[in-house]
Structure 1
Amino acid sequence: MWQEPFQEAVMKRDISVMLDILHMQVTEHANTPKQSVKDKALKIIYQGLQQSETIYSVGLQFANSESPTGEELGAILLATNYDVNPSEVSSVLLRLADNTHWEVREWAASACAIVLTNHFQNFYPTLIQWTKNHSPNVRRAAVVAVKYAARKMDERYAELLIDLIEPLLCDEDEYVKKNLRAFAIGDGLLKYYPKQLMTRLNTWVKSENEHVRWNIIKIFSSREGIKYIEDSIHIVKILSNDQRKIVKSAFNRTMLSLKKRDPEIYHKYFGSI
């Protein structure tokens, strides 16, 4: 079992040995250990080191290790000890959010959600700046962070979280769009803040920007979005009249999804379209 030697390496703060042990647990799929292994490693580190400054130091070494596994763990360790050095954590997470390894980017986005949830006032302006970053990876990290943070934040934060992702409705990058539409908005913000999001949709649909409209119609292709489509018939009808290729294609795909998941609603409102 890897846990015992890993625990010994943790107590010695030997980063290289910790990484060597974890590297022996990698999977072919992601070239990093399974989620359960990394979660267990984090638990051993927290239990073994305890002190924030010590955990932070280890986290920083992991984040700078150029090992995807180390970078993933480092992102979480730094996020959970953000108070030790907020500016440095923000800088490291920015770098990891733009990592070439897809799974490191996932962990960085999750780490950003942790910071946003626990240090909203300080980190919110940082993510606002990320939405303007030249890298789509960084912009996408802000989107995913909002989705994950929404699960734990009450309605007091709804408008601010919606405000944060709103400028990205116009984003033309496919990586950003893929994570915004049905994922962050449909199964995220709509799920946790339906009243506020539905109100905002009535504003967004007035936009003539085709990417904004593409995002709106894609929201209703999500599992959560379909629940609200009957309350949004006026919005969907507006979008059904948009003949631009990108919007029309999204509308048709959304209708196929609706027809499959809720044929009764489809035939009631859209069968003749």
Structure 2
Amino acid sequence: MMPLAEQDWKRDAADAASRGSASALTAALGPVLGTLPDKQARAVKHQALQVIEAALPDPKRLIRLASGLAQIGDETAQELAVFLLSGHYAADPDETAERLRSLTESPHPTVRRWTGEACGTLLVKQFPSFYPRLAAWSASPLPNEIAAVAHAVRIAAKTRNPAWSRPLLDLAELLMSGAPAAAGKAISPLTLGEGLLASYPEETAARLDVWIAGGDEAVRIHAANMYASAAAAEHWDLLAPGFAKLEQDASPAVRRAVARARKQLLKRLPPDPSGGLLP
């Protein structure tokens, strides 16, 4: 038999969920979570999700409840919202996507991190439906929103699905051309390097040639920054010619990015690599 305190919060949470009351649900969970260390609190949140879904089996009502939780400033409420929204996306794709988009700008770092993970999971599971939404988000001026899209691209790239290489590279290009500077680290070494290049080396190298030859300075800076990734050293044979071109770029900003990338490459490449492109 479960302890009385556990019976109380589960009963209250189930009652609040069945009524679709986000505020009552938050009130039911707050006291118990406030007394627990992080590890135990995570376990309670996992149990709470199970209680909520059992008490409110109607997916559309569940999305409405999750939307209410997303709009509460409480960290726990927003964390629960992320998991409920991503788990029941098909019940209301428009509402789910809009709420997840708002949660990318949550004041809570944990919520932002889980939202990025959720976007990646949805892109893998609902690629045809969710991809256009992420493409629309890519024009956002908000760095956390851009970072969530970049994170989703990395997660989808890890599947190595050959049908996704071109659309994922297209999405990365959209991010590169208009992303705010604060989102740069999420895009260049991580999304381009450890995500796309690691999973699709030949396709990424071919697209890199296009980016390097293009007239968009921001894209060329991101391309140069990609060389700072571990994946760039692993696929140096494919990428060395592009690096040589970037070294001669007319833009001082691009050449500065090349200089930064060179320092990382020197740590990872053997001496005199690929015909001496690096000293």
User: Offset at 1:67?
Assistant: 0.9
Which of 35, 39, 42 matches 1:38? 42
One-letter code aligned to 1:11:
A
1:241 to 1:6, Cα distance in 2 relative to 1, 3 A: farther
Secondary structure of the residue that 2:271 maps to in structure 1? helix
User: Offset at 1:141?
Assistant: 1.9
One-letter code aligned to 1:261:
R
- 1:20 pairs with 2:31: yes
Separation (CA, whole Å) in 2 of partners of 1:72 and 1:122: 23
One-letter code aligned to 1:60:
S
Determine the structure 1 residue equivalent to 2:20: none
User: Offset at 1:244?
Assistant: 2.8
Separation (CA, whole Å) in 2 of partners of 1:167 and 1:134: 12
Retained in 2: the 8 A contact 1:10–1:45?
A: no
Secondary structure of the residue that 1:168 maps to in structure 2? helix
- 1:135 pairs with 2:139: no
Determine the structure 2 residue equivalent to 1:69: 76
Retained in 1: the 8 A contact 2:104–2:144?
A: yes
Larger Rg: 2
- 1:250 pairs with 2:245: no
Aligned pairs for 1:220-231 (under 5 A) are 220-231=227-238
**Structure 1 stretch displaced more, 37-46 or 108-117:** 37-46
Retained in 1: the 8 A contact 2:14–2:51?
A: no
The alignment-based identity, stated in percent, is 23
Determine the structure 1 residue equivalent to 2:53: 49
Retained in 1: the 8 A contact 2:139–2:179?
A: no
Retained in 2: the 8 A contact 1:110–1:144?
A: yes
Which of 187, 197, 213 matches 1:206? 213
Structure 1: runs of 5+ lacking an equivalent: 27-32
Separation (CA, whole Å) in 1 of partners of 2:29 and 2:240: 55
Separation (CA, whole Å) in 2 of partners of 1:102 and 1:58: 22
Normalising by the residue count of structure 1, what TM-score does the alignment of the two structures yield?
0.84
Separation (CA, whole Å) in 2 of partners of 1:254 and 1:87: 40
- 1:176 pairs with 2:183: yes
- 1:101 pairs with 2:112: no
Root-mean-square deviation over aligned CA pairs: 2.8
One-letter code aligned to 2:117:
S
Aligned residues: 265
User: Offset at 1:231?
Assistant: 2.0
1:111 to 1:52, Cα distance in 2 relative to 1, 3 A: farther
Structure 2: runs of 5+ lacking an equivalent: 18-23
Separation (CA, whole Å) in 2 of partners of 1:9 and 1:109: 30
**Structure 1 stretch displaced more, 54-63 or 115-124:** 54-63
Determine the structure 1 residue equivalent to 2:21: none
Normalising by the residue count of structure 2, what TM-score does the alignment of the two structures yield?
0.82
1:145 to 1:39, Cα distance in 2 relative to 1, 3 A: farther
